[in-house]
Amino acid sequence: MSADSVTLPASGNPLPNFDENGISYDAVDTFEITARLEASGLSDRLVRQRHGAADVFAYAQTMVQVRGATRVPHGPRGWLGKGALMEAARRAIILILGAVLGGLTATMLAANTREILIAGIGAWVIGQSVSGIVWAYAGAGQLKRGIARGTAATLLVTSVLACYLVVSLLLPGHDGSAAALLMAWCWYSCIVSMLVILGRSRFLLAVLAVGTGVVTLQILLGYRGAPLIVATVAVAVIVSVTALFIAQQRTIKERRVLNSGDWKAAIPPAAQAGFLAAALSMALTRLPAWEGTALVAATVVAAAATDPALVLMRQRLQWSSQRTPLLRHAARNAWLLTMAISAAIVVISAVVSALVVLFLVEENRVATTIIVAATFSSLATTSTTLNAFGLPRGAVGFAAAASLSAAVWIVVGNLAGLLVALGFLAIGLTVLLTRVADPRTYA
């Protein structure tokens, strides 16, 4: 359970889409960038508050003008974005490998389940918060400024956790292993999230593939010195990604200082991750140990599958809307596609949970775990999709719905929890289908 996933940029009033390089893409001059910024809703007052510039024109002067080749608008443009789909697939694999490496390392170092859960949830929430800060700037064409602010947030969190580690080591009767695990995992999540946004997924994938392979081999062979080797590999992975992150910092001249706008940008993704983590934690209290492991594995795989699924969904929606001039046909195609992809993610989650239970547990009691995994994945996927299509408050609301469903499941019973979850899921799908029915949402 890691925070390597990246929050997709979204807001209630998204900026106009000027291709993949931001609002300054292919602009003729600074005046055109200024016009685009003003059309997106930015005023001189907002620019002074959020970015420290004197006015919109001064802010536009700081933005890089990216020139691109002229594109022919006809044809199935969505399928031309193969690179975006491959990038999303790499992000998914990075998420899975990071979670596997973190879990195996913590287990080999004799960390108990509670410490692993706390560290994983903390890294998830903090990593998503940093991603939210970075995307708030990247969506306005200020990626470097976003990385600078994300770095400031990461250093602040790490400093607090370092103080917690020191206090844990100094106080008698306290073990600093939990604090060290939490600090290392949060640091890893934050910098990996920013490196993924910077497009460094190939390097991350190679490092994590090697690290996870070595750790898995050591565990399977059962060497006496395996814990030391595993710890060394984990440190090497963190050092490698940290070195790459430091190298990326050399080109960033922005101030690494947070403002009130950064805190506001961090709240929705943090709340979303916090509610989903709370729901998962409550669900784990009702399941045996190995079935809980199956639920966590299914959750990680479902979260990983959501990223490329959303990219594929957006590409197919764009392609479908361009093929038909009738709005009702485009809406019908959007509904069918959304339902199909959402169902596919739920099926993947259910299959993974079933396989893990069958592999780890001798008794074939998989029904409860499959139902819980499918239900949780449905609500989590709905929350993530709403965020990706410009409804961050709705995303937080349906993450809270997952927590409420888990609470009802624990307090009242299995059937009541399932009915509440299905009710929330029906509402979420209705909102999502209404959202995708408008082609302007993904144009």
Question: How confident is the model over 349-384, as pLDDT tens digits?
Answer: 667 766 766 666 555 556 666 777 777 777 888 888
Cβ atoms within 10 Å, residue 35: 13
Residue 178 · residue 63 · CB < 8 Å: no
Q: Give 3-state DSSP helix, strand, coil % of the chain, rounded to 5.
A: 75, 0, 25
Residue 148 tokens, joined: 């600078």
Give the start-to-end residue ranges of the domains of the chain: 27-61, 87-258, 261-443
Please give the share of the chain, as a percent, with pLDDT higher than 70: 76
What is d(CA 69, CA 72) in angstroms, rounded to the nearest whole number?
10
pLDDT the model gives residue 440:
60
Average pLDDT across the chain, whole number: 77
CA dihedral 23, 28, 33, 38 (to 10 degrees): -110
284 pLDDT more than 50: yes
The sign of the CA dihedral 118, 272, 87, 308 is positive
With residue 141 as reference, give the H or E element that holds it.
none
pLDDT the model gives residue 64:
54
154 pLDDT more than 80: yes
What is d(CA 116, CA 105) in angstroms, rounded to the nearest whole number?
10
The answer to whether the pTM exceeds 0.85 is no
pLDDT the model gives residue 143:
86
What is d(CA 388, CA 30) in angstroms, rounded to the nearest whole number?
29
Q: How does pLDDT run across 180-233, given as a tens digit for each residue? A: 888 988 999 999 999 998 888 899 999 999 988 888 887 777 767 777 888 888
Q: How does pLDDT run across 301-358, given as a tens digit for each residue? A: 777 888 888 787 777 777 666 665 555 666 667 777 777 777 777 777 667 766 766 6
Dihedral-angle region of residue 254 (phi above 0 means left; psi in -120 to 50 means alpha; beta otherwise): beta
Cβ atoms within 10 Å, residue 49: 12
In Å, what is the CA distance from 338 to each residue of 309, 332, 376?
10, 10, 18
pLDDT the model gives residue 359:
67
